[in-house]
Amino acid sequence: METQRRPPLVKRLLGLAALALIAALPLGTVAAQAPAPKATPLLGASSSFKGVTAPGPTFDLVESVLDFSPGATSHVIETGTAHYLSVLDGELTVGVDGESQVVAQAKGISVPAGAKLVLSNAGTVQTARLFVTTLLAVGAVSDVHLLSAAGVKLFVTGRRTMSNAPAVVDVIQNAAAYDVGYRTPNHVMNEFHLMVHLTGQTGYAYLDGAAESYGAGSQAVMYEGRPGWMRNDGQTVTATAWTWVANPGKPLSSGVPAATTTAPAPPNTGTGVAEDHSGVPAALAATGLILIVLGASAFAAVGPRRAPRVR
């Protein structure tokens, strides 16, 4: 008579275990690849101006952010001192003594003292955002920070006095956006600087436990020589622009070791594992299922086998 064998239980259970493993892998991979909050630079190397002659041992660092609507043009600005211009959004046409060039987003250009400067947005759709820095005598002003033409709006301006400056400095414009939950590594600012805040809420926390927080339209510094970090204090992306006035060749900032004093914690963004550890990652749950199935398989493999049924 013909003998018919049913597939052993162990084979079926091992097959189920393989299917469970395959199903679990995509979930575990997605969880592992969730991007960490990061900082995104908004300006490039062309916004660094090296070997600048300082106005004197004491002067004001003045910086402004201005928005140019499509078609907006400034009046003619006579530059009594050098101007340092970078475009944060869109593009601007920069006319210097009758010669024009287009400066694209994330690019910078310097304009010498004694020039006639005209700024315009030749586009028809996008607003252009300008970041401009000048080194002025204490209390002095420049037209570039006071533009009042139609379609030109001053978003924010900031001023800080520098004393005991070297005769030659580096003027470095920078800007960055911080994702929600982002925190810089511990560091210390070595060189003179000034920050203006463009969006969101930016915090400055120090290893001695002090902390400050600033919203859009305000100015601030991370105090030189005071170790700490910067962070996104809110629930939206935050952006900041700043200028360094630095000793040539000196590091702008330096890393510092972890603090022995606990500083204020970064904001809870709701993206981490629950504090009570009640959240079980998908990959861990799937692994548990696989172990259960494999255990059952092993048990079945060592148990008694039924004799084949004969018809």
- Interval 2-48: pLDDT, tens: 445 555 555 565 555 555 544 555 554 555 677 899 999 999 999 99
Report d(CA 195, CA 241) in Å as an integer.
6
In a domain, 44, yes or no: yes
Distance between start and end Cα atoms, the chain: 6
Q: Provide the β-strand partners of residue 231.
A: 183, 203
**123 located within any domain:** yes
Provide the sign of the torsion angle of the four alpha carbons 100, 98, 45, 218, taken in this order: negative
- pLDDT at position 286 is 42
Task: Kindly give, in sequence order, each residue whose CB lies less than 8 Å from that of residue 275, ignoring residues fewer than 6 positions away.
Answer: none
Q: In CATH, what number is assigned to the domain containing residue 159?
A: 2.60.120.10
Q: Does residue 308 lie within any of the structural domains? A: no
Question: According to the model, what pLDDT value does residue 7 have?
Answer: 54
Instruction: Report the C-alpha gap between 232 and 201 in whole angstroms.
Output: 6
Structural domains counted in the chain: 1
The reported pLDDT for the residue numbered 76 is 97
List 187's β-bridge partners, or say none. 228, 255
Contact 152, 64 (CB under 8 A): no
- Is 307 among the domain residues? no
Residue 285 within any structural domain of the chain? no
- Tell which wins on pLDDT, 7 or 296: 7
Instruction: Please check whether residue 112 lies inside any domain of the structure.
Output: yes
> Each residue of 70-112: pLDDT tens digit?
999 999 999 999 999 999 999 999 999 999 999 999 999 999 9
The pLDDT value given to residue 111: 98
Q: What is the pLDDT of residue 306?
A: 47
Which domain does 171 fall in, by range?
39-255
Of 221, 233, 229, nearest to 255 (Cα)?
A: 229
CB 147 within 8 A of CB 65: no
Q: What percent of the chain has pLDDT over 70?
A: 72
User: What are the start-end ranges of the H helices in the chain?
Assistant: 9-32, 282-302
pLDDT of residue 195: 98
Question: What integer best gives the mean pLDDT of the chain?
Answer: 83
Dist CA 138 CA 82 (whole Å): 15
Q: Is residue 265 part of a domain?
A: no
**Structure pTM?**
0.74
Residue 62 counted as domain residue? yes
| pLDDT, greater one: 19 or 67 | 67
Q: What is the pLDDT of residues 254-283, one digit of tens each?
A: 999 875 544 454 433 232 332 333 333 443
